[in-house]
Structure 1
Protein backbone atom coordinates (compact mmCIF):
# COMPACT_ATOMS: atom_id res chain seq x y z
CA UNK A 1 0.00 0.00 0.00
CA UNK A 2 1.31 3.46 -0.92
CA UNK A 3 0.46 6.27 1.47
CA UNK A 4 0.75 9.98 0.76
CA UNK A 5 3.65 11.11 2.91
CA UNK A 6 3.33 14.82 2.35
CA UNK A 7 2.50 17.61 -0.07
CA UNK A 8 4.98 20.11 -1.47
CA UNK A 9 4.51 23.20 -3.61
CA UNK A 10 6.25 23.03 -7.00
CA UNK A 11 6.91 26.70 -7.68
CA UNK A 12 8.69 26.50 -11.04
CA UNK A 13 10.55 24.13 -13.31
CA UNK A 14 12.83 24.22 -16.34
CA UNK A 15 14.33 21.81 -18.84
CA UNK A 16 17.33 22.49 -21.08
CA UNK A 17 18.09 20.06 -23.92
CA UNK A 18 20.52 21.67 -26.38
CA UNK A 19 19.45 19.31 -29.18
CA UNK A 20 15.74 19.96 -28.57
CA UNK A 21 13.04 17.41 -27.70
CA UNK A 22 9.28 16.85 -28.00
CA UNK A 23 7.03 14.77 -25.72
CA UNK A 24 3.30 14.82 -26.38
CA UNK A 25 2.20 18.40 -27.01
CA UNK A 26 5.21 19.89 -25.24
CA UNK A 27 8.25 20.92 -27.25
CA UNK A 28 11.64 21.96 -25.93
CA UNK A 29 13.37 24.16 -28.47
CA UNK A 30 17.06 23.59 -29.25
CA UNK A 31 19.21 26.00 -27.26
CA UNK A 32 22.93 26.50 -26.83
CA UNK A 33 23.74 27.37 -23.18
CA UNK A 34 26.05 30.35 -22.77
CA UNK A 35 29.58 30.12 -21.42
CA UNK A 36 30.26 30.26 -17.70
CA UNK A 37 33.57 31.99 -16.85
CA UNK A 38 36.07 29.64 -15.21
CA UNK A 39 34.74 26.47 -16.88
CA UNK A 40 36.10 25.01 -20.11
CA UNK A 41 35.40 22.33 -22.71
CA UNK A 42 32.39 20.65 -21.09
CA UNK A 43 28.66 21.51 -21.37
CA UNK A 44 28.08 20.37 -17.77
CA UNK A 45 28.31 23.71 -15.98
CA UNK A 46 26.67 25.85 -18.71
CA UNK A 47 23.73 23.42 -18.72
CA UNK A 48 23.25 23.74 -14.96
CA UNK A 49 23.45 27.54 -15.08
CA UNK A 50 20.99 27.73 -17.99
CA UNK A 51 18.48 25.46 -16.23
CA UNK A 52 18.71 27.47 -12.99
CA UNK A 53 18.33 30.81 -14.75
CA UNK A 54 15.22 29.59 -16.59
CA UNK A 55 13.70 28.01 -13.51
CA UNK A 56 14.14 31.12 -11.36
CA UNK A 57 13.50 33.80 -13.98
CA UNK A 58 9.84 34.34 -13.04
CA UNK A 59 10.44 33.74 -9.34
CA UNK A 60 13.25 36.20 -8.70
CA UNK A 61 13.06 38.40 -11.78
CA UNK A 62 16.65 37.40 -12.44
CA UNK A 63 17.77 38.90 -9.13
CA UNK A 64 19.09 37.29 -5.94
CA UNK A 65 16.74 35.68 -3.43
CA UNK A 66 17.76 38.12 -0.70
CA UNK A 67 16.55 37.04 2.76
CA UNK A 68 14.97 33.90 1.28
CA UNK A 69 18.43 32.72 0.25
CA UNK A 70 19.25 31.70 3.81
CA UNK A 71 16.26 29.33 3.78
CA UNK A 72 17.03 27.82 0.38
CA UNK A 73 18.85 24.54 -0.20
CA UNK A 74 20.60 23.28 -3.34
CA UNK A 75 20.56 19.66 -4.49
CA UNK A 76 22.35 18.34 -7.58
CA UNK A 77 21.69 14.74 -8.66
CA UNK A 78 23.57 12.98 -11.45
CA UNK A 79 24.70 9.52 -12.52
CA UNK A 80 28.18 10.22 -13.86
CA UNK A 81 28.78 13.90 -13.19
CA UNK A 82 30.95 15.77 -15.67
CA UNK A 83 32.15 12.93 -17.89
CA UNK A 84 33.68 15.26 -20.49
CA UNK A 85 35.98 16.96 -17.98
CA UNK A 86 36.84 13.61 -16.38
CA UNK A 87 37.76 12.14 -19.75
CA UNK A 88 39.90 15.10 -20.82
CA UNK A 89 41.70 15.31 -17.50
CA UNK A 90 42.50 11.61 -17.36
CA UNK A 91 43.74 11.59 -20.98
CA UNK A 92 46.19 14.38 -20.13
CA UNK A 93 47.48 12.41 -17.15
CA UNK A 94 47.87 9.10 -19.01
CA UNK A 95 49.65 10.82 -21.90
CA UNK A 96 52.16 12.43 -19.53
CA UNK A 97 51.06 16.00 -20.25
CA UNK A 98 50.71 18.71 -17.60
CA UNK A 99 47.29 18.54 -15.96
CA UNK A 100 45.04 21.57 -16.41
CA UNK A 101 43.59 22.54 -12.99
CA UNK A 102 40.32 23.49 -14.71
CA UNK A 103 39.95 19.81 -15.63
CA UNK A 104 39.90 18.63 -12.02
CA UNK A 105 36.49 17.04 -12.53
CA UNK A 106 35.67 16.24 -8.87
CA UNK A 107 35.37 19.96 -8.14
CA UNK A 108 33.07 20.83 -11.05
CA UNK A 109 29.64 20.04 -9.49
CA UNK A 110 30.26 21.90 -6.23
CA UNK A 111 32.01 24.77 -7.99
CA UNK A 112 29.17 25.47 -10.42
CA UNK A 113 26.72 25.27 -7.50
CA UNK A 114 28.90 27.86 -5.80
CA UNK A 115 28.40 30.11 -8.85
CA UNK A 116 24.63 29.57 -8.62
CA UNK A 117 24.65 30.26 -4.88
CA UNK A 118 26.64 33.46 -5.40
CA UNK A 119 24.41 34.75 -8.19
CA UNK A 120 21.16 34.08 -6.31
CA UNK A 121 22.40 34.71 -2.74
CA UNK A 122 21.63 31.13 -1.67
CA UNK A 123 23.26 30.31 1.67
CA UNK A 124 21.38 27.16 2.68
CA UNK A 125 22.82 23.60 2.52
CA UNK A 126 24.37 22.40 -0.73
CA UNK A 127 24.35 18.70 -1.64
CA UNK A 128 25.73 16.83 -4.67
CA UNK A 129 24.85 13.16 -5.09
CA UNK A 130 25.67 10.51 -7.69
CA UNK A 131 22.87 7.94 -7.90
CA UNK A 132 22.35 4.74 -9.86
CA UNK A 133 19.13 3.97 -11.67
CA UNK A 134 16.41 6.58 -12.14
CA UNK A 135 17.35 9.66 -10.12
CA UNK A 136 13.81 10.83 -9.37
CA UNK A 137 12.94 8.86 -6.24
CA UNK A 138 16.19 9.37 -4.33
CA UNK A 139 16.46 13.02 -5.38
CA UNK A 140 12.92 13.87 -4.24
CA UNK A 141 13.50 12.02 -0.98
CA UNK A 142 16.57 14.16 -0.37
CA UNK A 143 14.55 17.32 -1.08
CA UNK A 144 11.94 16.13 1.41
CA UNK A 145 14.54 15.59 4.12
CA UNK A 146 16.06 19.04 3.62
CA UNK A 147 12.62 20.68 3.80
CA UNK A 148 11.77 18.69 6.94
CA UNK A 149 15.09 19.82 8.41
CA UNK A 150 13.98 23.45 8.37
CA UNK A 151 14.54 24.87 4.89
CA UNK A 152 11.66 26.74 3.23
CA UNK A 153 12.56 25.74 -0.31
CA UNK A 154 14.99 23.58 -2.28
CA UNK A 155 16.30 24.03 -5.81
CA UNK A 156 16.65 20.52 -7.22
CA UNK A 157 18.90 20.04 -10.26
CA UNK A 158 19.34 16.91 -12.34
CA UNK A 159 21.98 16.63 -15.04
CA UNK A 160 23.68 14.07 -17.23
CA UNK A 161 25.66 14.36 -20.44
CA UNK A 162 25.23 12.13 -23.47
CA UNK A 163 27.07 8.86 -22.95
CA UNK A 164 28.75 8.08 -26.26
CA UNK A 165 32.44 7.52 -25.44
CA UNK A 166 33.66 3.99 -24.75
CA UNK A 167 34.82 4.53 -21.16
CA UNK A 168 31.58 6.07 -19.85
CA UNK A 169 29.60 3.40 -21.69
CA UNK A 170 31.75 0.70 -20.08
CA UNK A 171 31.23 2.28 -16.65
CA UNK A 172 27.49 2.48 -17.29
CA UNK A 173 27.40 -1.21 -18.21
CA UNK A 174 29.16 -2.15 -14.97
CA UNK A 175 26.81 -0.02 -12.88
CA UNK A 176 23.68 -1.47 -14.47
CA UNK A 177 25.00 -5.01 -14.13
CA UNK A 178 25.05 -4.66 -10.35
CA UNK A 179 22.18 -2.20 -9.84
CA UNK A 180 18.98 -0.77 -11.32
CA UNK A 181 18.91 -0.96 -15.12
CA UNK A 182 18.58 2.32 -17.02
CA UNK A 183 19.51 3.17 -20.57
CA UNK A 184 22.57 5.32 -21.16
CA UNK A 185 21.73 8.98 -21.79
CA UNK A 186 21.80 9.92 -25.48
CA UNK A 187 21.39 13.69 -25.10
CA UNK A 188 22.89 16.39 -22.88
CA UNK A 189 20.17 17.41 -20.42
CA UNK A 190 19.63 19.53 -17.31
CA UNK A 191 16.35 19.86 -15.41
CA UNK A 192 15.51 22.11 -12.45
CA UNK A 193 12.65 22.29 -9.92
CA UNK A 194 12.05 24.84 -7.17
CA UNK A 195 10.10 23.06 -4.42
CA UNK A 196 8.68 24.62 -1.23
CA UNK A 197 6.98 23.40 1.88
CA UNK A 198 3.20 23.56 1.57
CA UNK A 199 0.92 24.73 4.37
CA UNK A 200 -2.00 22.49 3.38
CA UNK A 201 -2.86 19.21 5.05
CA UNK A 202 -1.75 16.07 3.15
CA UNK A 203 -4.49 14.52 1.03
CA UNK A 204 -6.46 17.72 0.42
CA UNK A 205 -5.21 18.36 -3.14
CA UNK A 206 -7.42 17.77 -6.21
CA UNK A 207 -7.01 14.63 -8.27
CA UNK A 208 -3.49 14.33 -9.62
CA UNK A 209 -2.58 14.29 -13.30
CA UNK A 210 -1.63 11.21 -15.29
CA UNK A 211 2.08 11.24 -16.20
CA UNK A 212 3.08 12.06 -19.75
CA UNK A 213 4.18 8.87 -21.50
CA UNK A 214 6.62 8.91 -24.38
CA UNK A 215 8.78 6.08 -25.69
CA UNK A 216 11.63 8.52 -26.33
CA UNK A 217 12.01 9.42 -22.66
CA UNK A 218 14.59 6.63 -22.41
CA UNK A 219 16.93 8.98 -24.32
CA UNK A 220 17.44 10.77 -21.00
CA UNK A 221 18.85 7.73 -19.20
CA UNK A 222 18.82 8.17 -15.43
CA UNK A 223 17.10 11.56 -15.83
CA UNK A 224 14.05 10.00 -17.53
CA UNK A 225 11.88 10.18 -14.39
CA UNK A 226 12.68 13.83 -13.68
CA UNK A 227 12.21 14.77 -17.34
CA UNK A 228 8.86 12.96 -17.40
CA UNK A 229 7.87 14.93 -14.29
CA UNK A 230 8.76 18.17 -16.07
CA UNK A 231 6.62 17.31 -19.12
CA UNK A 232 3.70 16.21 -16.94
CA UNK A 233 3.80 19.42 -14.90
CA UNK A 234 4.22 21.56 -18.01
CA UNK A 235 1.18 19.93 -19.63
CA UNK A 236 -0.93 20.56 -16.51
CA UNK A 237 0.18 24.19 -16.19
CA UNK A 238 -0.65 24.76 -19.87
CA UNK A 239 -4.11 23.24 -19.45
CA UNK A 240 -4.63 25.05 -16.11
CA UNK A 241 -6.44 21.92 -14.97
CA UNK A 242 -5.12 19.83 -12.10
CA UNK A 243 -4.01 21.30 -8.80
CA UNK A 244 -1.36 18.67 -8.18
CA UNK A 245 0.84 16.02 -9.75
CA UNK A 246 1.30 12.70 -7.97
CA UNK A 247 4.73 11.09 -8.02
CA UNK A 248 5.19 7.48 -6.98
CA UNK A 249 8.53 7.52 -5.20
CA UNK A 250 10.47 4.37 -4.54
CA UNK A 251 13.74 4.72 -2.64
CA UNK A 252 15.54 3.60 0.48
CA UNK A 253 12.67 5.12 2.50
CA UNK A 254 10.18 2.76 0.83
CA UNK A 255 7.30 3.16 -1.60
CA UNK A 256 5.16 6.26 -1.21
CA UNK A 257 3.23 8.92 -3.06
CA UNK A 258 4.40 12.51 -3.10
CA UNK A 259 1.97 15.22 -4.20
CA UNK A 260 3.43 18.31 -5.80
CA UNK A 261 0.95 21.19 -5.71
CA UNK A 262 1.06 23.40 -8.80
CA UNK A 263 -0.43 26.45 -7.12
CA UNK A 264 -0.66 27.89 -3.64
CA UNK A 265 -3.16 25.95 -1.51
Structure 2
Protein backbone atom coordinates (compact mmCIF):
# COMPACT_ATOMS: atom_id res chain seq x y z
CA UNK A 1 0.00 0.00 0.00
CA UNK A 2 1.59 3.34 -0.97
CA UNK A 3 2.43 5.76 1.81
CA UNK A 4 0.40 8.93 2.24
CA UNK A 5 2.22 12.25 2.07
CA UNK A 6 2.24 14.18 5.33
CA UNK A 7 4.43 17.20 4.61
CA UNK A 8 7.72 18.52 3.30
CA UNK A 9 10.23 20.44 5.42
CA UNK A 10 13.53 22.16 4.72
CA UNK A 11 16.70 20.74 6.27
CA UNK A 12 18.87 23.57 7.58
CA UNK A 13 21.60 21.33 9.02
CA UNK A 14 22.28 17.90 10.51
CA UNK A 15 24.90 16.08 12.61
CA UNK A 16 25.42 12.67 14.19
CA UNK A 17 27.72 10.87 16.65
CA UNK A 18 27.92 7.08 16.76
CA UNK A 19 29.23 4.48 19.22
CA UNK A 20 32.87 4.91 20.09
CA UNK A 21 36.03 2.96 19.30
CA UNK A 22 35.84 -0.23 17.25
CA UNK A 23 32.03 -0.18 17.55
CA UNK A 24 31.96 2.92 15.34
CA UNK A 25 33.90 1.42 12.44
CA UNK A 26 32.03 2.01 9.18
CA UNK A 27 29.16 3.91 10.83
CA UNK A 28 28.13 7.52 10.08
CA UNK A 29 29.37 10.17 12.48
CA UNK A 30 32.25 8.22 14.04
CA UNK A 31 33.87 10.46 16.65
CA UNK A 32 36.58 10.47 19.33
CA UNK A 33 35.76 8.72 22.58
CA UNK A 34 36.20 11.81 24.70
CA UNK A 35 33.37 14.35 24.86
CA UNK A 36 33.72 17.98 25.82
CA UNK A 37 32.88 18.48 29.49
CA UNK A 38 29.65 20.33 30.26
CA UNK A 39 29.52 22.39 33.45
CA UNK A 40 27.00 20.98 35.91
CA UNK A 41 26.87 17.51 34.34
CA UNK A 42 28.90 14.66 35.86
CA UNK A 43 29.08 10.86 36.06
CA UNK A 44 27.09 10.21 32.87
CA UNK A 45 27.85 10.81 29.17
CA UNK A 46 24.18 11.42 28.30
CA UNK A 47 24.18 15.21 28.79
CA UNK A 48 27.55 15.80 27.10
CA UNK A 49 26.44 13.60 24.17
CA UNK A 50 23.28 15.67 23.61
CA UNK A 51 25.31 18.85 24.00
CA UNK A 52 27.93 17.70 21.49
CA UNK A 53 25.51 16.71 18.73
CA UNK A 54 23.32 19.80 19.21
CA UNK A 55 26.36 22.09 19.06
CA UNK A 56 27.59 20.30 15.92
CA UNK A 57 24.21 20.93 14.29
CA UNK A 58 23.56 24.49 15.47
CA UNK A 59 27.12 25.79 15.36
CA UNK A 60 29.15 27.28 18.24
CA UNK A 61 27.02 29.19 20.73
CA UNK A 62 29.51 32.06 20.84
CA UNK A 63 29.44 32.50 17.05
CA UNK A 64 26.86 35.05 15.93
CA UNK A 65 26.53 33.22 12.60
CA UNK A 66 25.21 30.01 14.18
CA UNK A 67 21.82 28.62 13.13
CA UNK A 68 19.96 30.20 16.05
CA UNK A 69 21.13 33.79 15.67
CA UNK A 70 18.30 36.16 16.51
CA UNK A 71 15.65 33.44 16.22
CA UNK A 72 15.96 32.10 19.77
CA UNK A 73 12.32 32.86 20.57
CA UNK A 74 11.29 31.10 17.35
CA UNK A 75 13.34 27.93 17.86
CA UNK A 76 11.91 24.70 19.31
CA UNK A 77 13.74 21.56 20.48
CA UNK A 78 12.32 18.03 20.43
CA UNK A 79 14.37 15.26 22.06
CA UNK A 80 13.66 11.55 21.60
CA UNK A 81 15.13 8.93 23.93
CA UNK A 82 13.73 5.67 25.24
CA UNK A 83 15.66 5.45 28.51
CA UNK A 84 17.15 8.89 29.06
CA UNK A 85 20.03 9.23 31.49
CA UNK A 86 19.82 5.77 33.03
CA UNK A 87 23.42 6.00 34.27
CA UNK A 88 22.59 8.97 36.49
CA UNK A 89 19.43 7.30 37.80
CA UNK A 90 21.36 4.12 38.61
CA UNK A 91 24.18 6.03 40.29
CA UNK A 92 21.79 7.92 42.55
CA UNK A 93 20.02 4.66 43.48
CA UNK A 94 23.28 2.84 44.20
CA UNK A 95 24.54 5.66 46.40
CA UNK A 96 21.30 5.64 48.39
CA UNK A 97 21.38 1.87 48.88
CA UNK A 98 25.03 2.08 49.96
CA UNK A 99 24.16 4.74 52.53
CA UNK A 100 26.17 7.46 50.79
CA UNK A 101 25.17 11.10 50.78
CA UNK A 102 23.10 11.96 47.73
CA UNK A 103 24.32 14.62 45.32
CA UNK A 104 21.55 17.09 44.31
CA UNK A 105 23.27 17.40 40.95
CA UNK A 106 22.25 13.84 40.10
CA UNK A 107 18.57 14.63 40.66
CA UNK A 108 18.85 17.63 38.34
CA UNK A 109 20.65 15.88 35.49
CA UNK A 110 18.51 12.71 35.65
CA UNK A 111 15.73 14.71 33.94
CA UNK A 112 16.27 14.46 30.19
CA UNK A 113 15.26 18.06 29.54
CA UNK A 114 17.93 19.42 31.92
CA UNK A 115 20.58 19.34 29.19
CA UNK A 116 18.11 21.05 26.85
CA UNK A 117 17.73 23.86 29.39
CA UNK A 118 21.51 24.21 29.43
CA UNK A 119 21.48 24.55 25.64
CA UNK A 120 18.71 27.15 25.72
CA UNK A 121 20.72 29.33 28.07
CA UNK A 122 23.84 29.11 25.89
CA UNK A 123 22.01 29.81 22.62
CA UNK A 124 19.25 32.09 23.87
CA UNK A 125 16.50 29.68 22.80
CA UNK A 126 13.04 30.47 24.19
CA UNK A 127 10.78 28.26 22.08
CA UNK A 128 9.00 25.04 23.16
CA UNK A 129 11.03 22.15 24.65
CA UNK A 130 9.65 18.62 24.28
CA UNK A 131 11.07 15.26 25.36
CA UNK A 132 9.38 12.05 24.20
CA UNK A 133 9.75 8.30 24.61
CA UNK A 134 7.66 6.26 22.17
CA UNK A 135 7.43 2.79 20.59
CA UNK A 136 8.10 1.63 17.93
CA UNK A 137 9.90 4.65 16.47
CA UNK A 138 11.01 7.38 18.89
CA UNK A 139 12.80 9.37 16.17
CA UNK A 140 9.79 9.25 13.85
CA UNK A 141 7.53 10.45 16.64
CA UNK A 142 9.94 13.30 17.37
CA UNK A 143 9.88 14.30 13.69
CA UNK A 144 6.08 14.21 13.77
CA UNK A 145 6.03 16.51 16.82
CA UNK A 146 8.49 18.90 15.15
CA UNK A 147 6.39 18.86 11.99
CA UNK A 148 3.32 19.86 14.01
CA UNK A 149 5.23 22.61 15.81
CA UNK A 150 6.35 24.08 12.50
CA UNK A 151 2.72 24.58 11.52
CA UNK A 152 2.86 27.52 13.93
CA UNK A 153 3.93 30.57 11.87
CA UNK A 154 5.49 32.05 15.01
CA UNK A 155 8.18 29.34 14.91
CA UNK A 156 11.11 29.54 12.53
CA UNK A 157 12.77 26.16 13.15
CA UNK A 158 12.77 22.97 15.22
CA UNK A 159 15.84 21.02 16.32
CA UNK A 160 15.12 17.29 16.52
CA UNK A 161 17.56 15.23 18.63
CA UNK A 162 17.52 11.44 18.97
CA UNK A 163 19.85 9.97 21.59
CA UNK A 164 20.52 6.81 23.58
CA UNK A 165 23.37 5.91 25.89
CA UNK A 166 24.98 2.49 25.77
CA UNK A 167 22.59 0.18 27.62
CA UNK A 168 23.45 -0.61 31.24
CA UNK A 169 21.99 -3.48 33.27
CA UNK A 170 18.83 -1.55 34.17
CA UNK A 171 18.10 -0.65 30.54
CA UNK A 172 18.81 -4.15 29.23
CA UNK A 173 16.43 -5.69 31.75
CA UNK A 174 13.63 -3.20 31.09
CA UNK A 175 14.06 -3.66 27.34
CA UNK A 176 13.84 -7.45 27.71
CA UNK A 177 10.58 -7.11 29.65
CA UNK A 178 9.22 -4.70 27.03
CA UNK A 179 10.15 -7.13 24.24
CA UNK A 180 8.37 -9.95 26.05
CA UNK A 181 5.29 -7.71 26.14
CA UNK A 182 5.44 -7.17 22.38
CA UNK A 183 7.14 -3.77 22.45
CA UNK A 184 10.49 -4.63 20.90
CA UNK A 185 12.86 -1.72 20.42
CA UNK A 186 16.43 -2.46 19.26
CA UNK A 187 19.02 -0.43 21.14
CA UNK A 188 22.32 0.92 19.78
CA UNK A 189 25.53 -0.93 20.58
CA UNK A 190 26.94 2.17 22.27
CA UNK A 191 26.34 5.87 22.86
CA UNK A 192 24.66 7.33 19.79
CA UNK A 193 22.98 10.63 18.90
CA UNK A 194 21.82 12.61 15.89
CA UNK A 195 20.35 16.07 15.37
CA UNK A 196 18.33 17.52 12.50
CA UNK A 197 17.36 21.19 12.16
CA UNK A 198 14.08 21.63 10.26
CA UNK A 199 12.34 24.71 8.90
CA UNK A 200 9.30 25.47 6.78
CA UNK A 201 10.18 25.42 3.09
CA UNK A 202 8.86 28.92 2.49
CA UNK A 203 11.26 30.31 5.13
CA UNK A 204 14.25 28.32 3.81
CA UNK A 205 13.81 27.92 0.06
CA UNK A 206 17.31 26.61 -0.68
CA UNK A 207 19.06 23.39 0.27
CA UNK A 208 17.91 19.90 1.15
CA UNK A 209 14.34 18.73 1.70
CA UNK A 210 12.72 16.14 3.96
CA UNK A 211 9.50 14.36 3.02
CA UNK A 212 7.63 12.92 5.99
CA UNK A 213 5.17 10.21 5.00
CA UNK A 214 2.89 7.74 6.72
CA UNK A 215 3.95 4.10 6.54
CA UNK A 216 2.90 0.75 8.02
CA UNK A 217 4.31 0.29 11.57
CA UNK A 218 6.46 -2.63 10.45
CA UNK A 219 8.42 -0.39 8.08
CA UNK A 220 8.49 2.94 9.90
CA UNK A 221 11.91 3.96 11.14
CA UNK A 222 13.39 0.66 10.01
CA UNK A 223 12.11 -1.10 13.14
CA UNK A 224 10.43 -4.07 11.54
CA UNK A 225 11.31 -7.75 11.86
CA UNK A 226 14.66 -7.37 10.14
CA UNK A 227 17.75 -7.84 12.36
CA UNK A 228 18.67 -4.63 14.17
CA UNK A 229 21.91 -2.98 13.14
CA UNK A 230 24.50 -1.57 15.56
CA UNK A 231 22.59 1.72 15.76
CA UNK A 232 19.32 0.10 16.86
CA UNK A 233 16.24 2.31 16.67
CA UNK A 234 18.41 5.32 15.77
CA UNK A 235 19.69 3.70 12.57
CA UNK A 236 17.31 5.21 10.01
CA UNK A 237 17.35 8.66 11.60
CA UNK A 238 21.13 8.71 11.95
CA UNK A 239 21.62 7.71 8.32
CA UNK A 240 19.29 10.53 7.32
CA UNK A 241 21.34 13.01 9.37
CA UNK A 242 24.62 11.68 7.98
CA UNK A 243 23.41 12.00 4.39
CA UNK A 244 21.78 15.40 4.88
CA UNK A 245 24.78 16.74 6.77
CA UNK A 246 27.01 15.78 3.85
CA UNK A 247 24.47 17.19 1.34
CA UNK A 248 24.77 14.04 -0.75
CA UNK A 249 21.26 14.45 -2.16
CA UNK A 250 18.68 17.19 -2.31
CA UNK A 251 15.61 15.23 -1.19
CA UNK A 252 15.26 12.76 1.67
CA UNK A 253 12.34 10.82 3.11
CA UNK A 254 11.40 9.35 6.46
CA UNK A 255 8.46 6.92 6.93
CA UNK A 256 6.43 7.74 10.04
CA UNK A 257 4.33 5.36 12.12
CA UNK A 258 1.49 7.64 13.26
Cα distance in 2 for partners of 1:68, 1:234 equals: 21
Task: Determine if the alignment matches structure 1 residue 104 to structure 2 residue 107.
Answer: yes
Q: Structure 1's 140 and 157: CA in aligned 2 closer, same or farther, altered over 3 A?
A: same
CA apart distance, 1:66: 4.1
Provide the residue aligned with 1:34 in structure 2. Answer: 36
Equivalent residue for 1:131? 134
Q: Distance in 2 between matches of 1:222 and 1:105?
A: 27
**Can you give the 5+ residue segments of structure 2 that lack an aligned partner in the other structure?**
212-221
- Whether the 8 Å CA contact 2:80–2:162 is kept in 1: the answer is yes
Residue 248 of structure 2 is aligned to residue 245 of structure 1: no
Q: Does 1:167 align with 2:173?
A: no
- Give the direction of change, closer, same or farther, for the CA distance of 1:179–1:101 in structure 2 (3 Å limit): farther
Return closer, same or farther for 1:61/1:33 CA change in 2, 3 Å cut-off. Answer: farther
**Shift in alpha-carbon separation, 1:207–1:112, aligned structure 2, 3 A:** closer
Length, aligned pairs only: 236
Q: CA deviation at 1:135?
A: 1.7
Q: Which residue number corresponds to residue 157 of structure 2?
A: 153
Residue 8 (structure 2) pairs with residue 4 (structure 1): no
> Against the structure 1 CA distance between its residues 216 and 33, is the aligned structure 2 distance closer, same or farther, given a 3 Å change threshold?
farther
Q: Taking structure 1 as reference, are residues 39 and 131 closer, same or farther at Cα in structure 2, changes over 3 Å only?
A: same
TM-score (norm 1): 0.78
What residue in structure 1 maps to residue 240 of structure 2? 229
- Tell me the SS of whatever aligns to 1:194: strand
**Which structure 1 residue ranges, 5 or more long, are not aligned?**
252-265
Give the secondary-structure state (helix, strand or coil) at the position aligned to 2:257.
strand
Separation in 2 of the partners of 1:139 and 1:206?
17
Distance 1:65 1:96, change over 3 A: same
Structure 1's 85 and 143: CA in aligned 2 closer, same or farther, altered over 3 A? same
Structure 2 match to 1:187: 190
State how far apart, in whole Å, the 2-side matches of 1:207 and 1:91 are: 44
**What do you get for the CA RMSD once the two structures are aligned?**
2.9
CA distance in 2, matches of 1:27, 1:81: 21
Q: TM-score by structure 2 length?
A: 0.80
